[in-house]
């Protein structure tokens, strides 16, 4: 999936969660100085920035299908090799990276198993392939409260069916289907405090991703009704968001 909109809008929408997740995810993958790393589906650069801080720009590459995001990450992280590419067709040599990571990406891949196989291909023997996805099925996505309110007003709201990797055991199973034996599963948590309801709500209005498209489709009155339903559930603030991802690592 290619996200519409600007990298700045995406950062305001999801960066408040993904930037905190990046450090925990890099720890899980045992990223350390001296390695060469690839961020697959880098988006606005949350994980790429964490990898750059740990390894240096010349040791980090990134792949992203959305042209505006590619341009934004190149501006944000000078020296990082950022290429426009989908996970299923990575423009890198075999056995090139020590660690290849996909943060909050597998559930948006057109073919998750093909994307994971490509990640394994570009990773050296003994290197690490890692991926993580929000626990949507368990209601632990940072967007869970929004979709709960939306379904209170419209039972058909929200993504239909469980997306790849978003329920327990699915992501590790997909690693196995991609030929990555011995994959290990973990759960990583992210806690974010929003001081007011408006601070929590405003990024949803930026039109980013499926949620942004849904909110726009409601029209002015429908969006206002949903906003008030969210407020009824969340209160005026502070709002504590406790989110979690399913994370998997495997050695090639």
CB 41 within 8 A of CB 13: no
The pLDDT score that the predictor gives to residue 8 is: 79
How many Cα neighbours within 13 Å face the side chain of 21?
29
Largest CA distance in the chain: 56
Q: Which residue segments constitute the domains of the chain, with CATH numbers given?
A: 7-141+159-191+243-251 (3.40.50.150)
| Euclidean distance between CA atoms 71 and 89, whole angstroms | 19
Q: What is the pTM of this model?
A: 0.91
Q: What ranges in the chain are assigned the alpha helix state H? A: 7-10, 16-28, 46-55, 67-76, 112-121, 144-153, 170-177, 197-201, 209-217, 219-234
The pLDDT score that the predictor gives to residue 137 is: 85
- Which of 71-80, 135-144, 153-162, 204-213 has the highest average model confidence (pLDDT)? 71-80
Tens digits of residue pLDDT in 4-59: 557 777 788 888 899 999 999 999 999 999 999 999 999 999 999 999 999 999 99
User: Span 70-77, mean pLDDT?
Assistant: 96
The pLDDT score that the predictor gives to residue 158 is: 75
Residue 147, token pair as written in the block: 């979709």
């Amino acid at each position: 999936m290619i996200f519409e909109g600007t990298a700045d809008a995406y950062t305001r929408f999801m960066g408040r969660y993904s930037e905190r997740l990046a450090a925990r995810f890099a720890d899980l993958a045992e990223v350390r100085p001296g390695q060469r790393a690839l961020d697959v589906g880098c988006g606005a650069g949350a994980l790429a920035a964490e990898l750059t801080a740990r390894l240096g720009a010349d040791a980090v590459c990134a792949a992203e299908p959305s042209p505006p995001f590619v341009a934004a990450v190149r501006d944000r992280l000078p020296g990082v090799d950022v290429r426009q590419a989908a996970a299923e067709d990575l423009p890198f040599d075999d056995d090139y990276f020590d660690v290849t990571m996909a943060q909050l990406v597998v559930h948006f891949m057109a073919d998750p198993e093909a994307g994971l196989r490509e990640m394994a291909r570009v990773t050296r023997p003994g290197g690490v392939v890692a991926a993580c996805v929000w626990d949507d099925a368990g209601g632990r996505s940072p967007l869970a409260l929004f979709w709960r309110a939306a379904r209170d007003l419209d039972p058909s709201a929200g993504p239909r069916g469980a997306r790849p990797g978003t329920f327990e055991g699915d992501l590790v199973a997909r690693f196995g289907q991609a030929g990555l034996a011995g994959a290990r599963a973990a759960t990583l948590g992210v806690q974010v405090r929003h001081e007011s309801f408006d601070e929590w709500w405003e990024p949803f209005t930026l039109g980013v991703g499926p949620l942004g498209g849904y909110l726009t489709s409601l029209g002015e009155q429908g969006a206002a009704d949903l906003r008030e339903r969210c407020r009824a559930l969340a209160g005026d603030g502070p709002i504590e968001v406790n989110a979690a991802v399913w994370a998997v690592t495997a050695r090639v």
